[in-house]
Amino acid sequence: MPFIKNDFIDKVLARVDIVDVINARVKLKKQGSSYTCCCPFHQEKTPSFSVNQKKQYFNCFGCHKAGSAIKFVMEYDNLSFSEAVVELANMVGLEVEYEEKGRSRFNNVNKEESKTSIYFTLLTDAAKLFHQELQKSEIAQQYLAARGITKETIEKYEIGFAPNSWDFILKI
């Protein structure tokens, strides 16, 4: 996975409201200047979980879990740091910005990188071809429909079909 730009993380945190983020997952109650609820991370009968909207920070006096909206989503949705950032970005409609240089771990090894990009182009082209083949094949489309795979899924994952010919990909 490419690295998310550092300042994009700040952008996301500036855009989201931790109260909305948490409230979408557990019902919060406004109490004075903060919001509270029973902690989703430990068993309790009286709320010791509180959210500070001004500081965009949550804190539990019971189990001592605390942090930003990102931390909450990581813990609650069981996501990695970058997955949580992507999740929050989606929530507020921000397009994730990735580090150009971090695109490949082979960055300092130019040869490796160019090899990687050649393979990547080849595989992308091959995937496109198989995907085009699927549009041509009635039988393959019927098969997918019977399996309950929708047109959207086919497009989204660029599902393809390999015709019955061992050298199809070489003839192109």
Least separation in angstroms between CB 82 and Zn ion: 25
Longest dimension (CA), the chain: 71
CB 49, min distance to Zn ion, A: 6
Cα(82)–Cα(17) distance, integer angstroms? 18
Q: Which is nearer to Zn ion, 15 or 65 (CB)?
A: 65
The residue (of 27 and 42) whose beta carbon lies closer to Zn ion is: 42
- At what angle are helices 69-77 and 6-15 packed, to 10 degrees? 90
With 0-12 / 13-18 / 19 or more C-beta atoms within 10 angstroms meaning exposed / middle / buried, residue 56 is middle
Smallest distance, Zn ion to C-beta of residue 86, A: 26
Contact residues for Zn ion, defined by CB under 5 A: 39, 41-42, 60, 62-63
Nearer to Zn ion, 37 or 39 (CB): 39
Please state, in angstroms and rounded to a whole number, the distance separating the CA atoms of residues 15 and 9: 10
Q: With respect to Zn ion, which residue has the nearer C-beta, 8 or 41?
A: 41
Q: Work out how close the CB of 40 gets to Zn ion at its nearest, in angstroms, rounded to a whole number.
A: 8
Q: Nearest-CA neighbor of 13 among 78, 101, 72?
A: 72
